[in-house]
C-alpha cells in the first residue's frame, strides 16, 4: 500500500502544480512557465517517492514497466487506480481554490484539460492530435525507460526525465495542451465534463500507444549485455 499511496501523492502533486499553473497562472507565465511547472512538479515528486514506487505517476509509464516485466499485473492495476485517484484529488483541490476566488466560472478558467479542434489553441485536427500525443509520449516514455534502466544516480534520472517533460510540453501545449499521461487528462475532463470529456478518449489511447511503441523500440535497440 505504500507504493500505491506514493503514486497517489505523486500524481496529485503533478496535477495540482502542472494543471494548476495552466489554469490559474497560465496568463502570467505563458507556455514556457506551464511547461516548467510540469517538469518541476515531476522532479519534486520523483525526489519524494522515487525510492518507494519508482514515481511512475502516469499510466503510460506503468504500462511500459509492465511490458518490460519490471511491474506485476497486480501492481499495474494498483498503480493506475492510485494515479487516477491522485489526479482527481489534485483537480478537486484546484476546483476548490478556483471556485473560492474571483476568477470566473470553472468552465471559463478550466483545469488544464486537453483537447483538439475547438479545444486546441491552433484548432488541431483529431488525426494530428492523435499523432502528436503518440510522438510526445513515445519520446517521454523512452527517456524514462532508458534513464531508469541505466546504472545512473536516481537524482540524475529524475532531472533528465523532468527536463524531457518540460520539452514535450513546450511544443505540445499550443497543440493539445500536452497529455502524455492518461490520468492527468482524465481527471480534469471528468470534472469539467462537456466537450473535454467527449475528447478525453484520445488522451487515454494515444499515450498508451506511444508507450507501447517506446517499449518495443527500447527492446529492439537496447545494447546487448556484455
DSSP assignments along 49-86, one per residue: HHHHH----SHHHHHHHHHTTSS-HHHHHHHHHHHHHH
Is residue 83 within 8 A of residue 180, CB to CB? The reply is no
**Mean per-residue pLDDT for 101-107?**
82
**86 confidence band (pLDDT: 50, 70, 90):** very high
Q: What is the dihedral of CA 147, 149, 154, 157, to 10 degrees?
A: 10
The pLDDT value given to residue 225: 56
**Mean per-residue pLDDT for 217-221?**
93
**108 confidence band (pLDDT: 50, 70, 90):** confident
Cell match 507565465: residue? 29
Distance CA 92, CA 64 (A): 28
pTM for the model stands at: 0.94
Is residue 114 within 8 A of residue 185, CB to CB? The reply is yes
The pLDDT value given to residue 226: 46
**152 confidence band (pLDDT: 50, 70, 90):** low
- Residue environment code for 112-126, b if the CB has 16+ CB neighbours within 10 A, otherwise e: bbbbbeebbeeebee
149: its cell numbers: 534502466
- Residue environment code for 200-223, b if the CB has 16+ CB neighbours within 10 A, otherwise e: bebbbebbbebbbbbbeebeeeee
Q: Is 100 exposed, middle or buried (0-12, 13-18, 19+ CB in 10 A)?
A: exposed
Angle value at C-alpha 80, between 4 and 128, nearest 5 degrees: 145
Between 59 and 156, the higher pLDDT residue: 59
Domains, the chain, ordered by start = 2-220 (1.20.1080.10)
Distance CA 165, CA 176 (A): 15
Is residue 206 within 8 A of residue 104, CB to CB? The reply is no
Q: Taking 60 as the threshold, does the pLDDT of residue 173 lie above it?
A: yes
State percent of the chain over pLDDT 70. Answer: 97
List, for residues 194-214, the tens digit of each pLDDT value.
Answer: 999 999 999 999 999 999 999
**Mean per-residue pLDDT for 50-76?**
97
Amino acid at each position: 500500500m505504500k507504493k500505491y499511496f506514493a503514486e497517489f501523492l505523486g500524481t496529485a502533486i503533478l496535477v495540482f502544480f502542472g494543471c494548476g499553473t495552466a489554469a490559474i497562472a497560465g496568463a502570467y507565465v505563458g507556455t514556457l512557465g506551464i511547461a516548467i511547472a510540469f517538469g518541476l512538479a515531476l522532479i519534486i515528486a520523483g525526489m519524494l517517492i522515487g525510492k518507494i514506487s519508482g514515481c511512475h505517476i502516469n499510466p503510460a509509464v506503468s504500462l511500459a514497466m509492465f511490458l518490460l516485466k519490471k511491474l506485476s499485473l497486480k501492481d499495474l492495476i494498483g498503480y493506475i487506480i492510485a494515479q487516477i485517484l491522485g489526479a482527481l484529488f489534485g483537480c478537486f483541490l484546484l476546483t476548490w481554490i478556483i471556485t473560492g476566488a474571483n476568477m470566473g466560472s470553472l468552465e471559463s478558467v478550466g483545469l488544464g484539460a486537453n483537447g483538439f479542434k475547438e479545444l486546441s489553441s491552433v484548432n488541431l485536427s483529431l488525426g494530428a492530435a492523435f499523432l502528436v500525443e503518440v510522438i510526445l509520449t513515445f519520446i517521454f516514455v523512452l527517456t524514462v525507460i532508458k534513464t531508469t534502466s541505466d546504472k545512473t544516480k536516481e537524482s540524475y534520472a529524475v532531472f533528465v526525465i523532468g527536463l524531457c517533460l518540460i520539452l514535450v510540453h513546450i511544443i505540445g501545449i499550443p497543440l493539445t495542451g500536452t497529455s502524455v499521461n492518461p490520468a492527468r487528462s482524465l481527471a480534469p475532463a471528468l470534472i469539467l465534463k462537456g466537450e473535454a470529456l467527449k475528447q478525453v478518449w484520445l488522451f487515454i489511447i494515444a499515450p498508451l500507444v506511444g508507450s507501447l511503441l517506446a517499449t518495443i523500440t527500447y527492446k529492439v535497440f537496447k545494447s546487448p549485455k556484455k
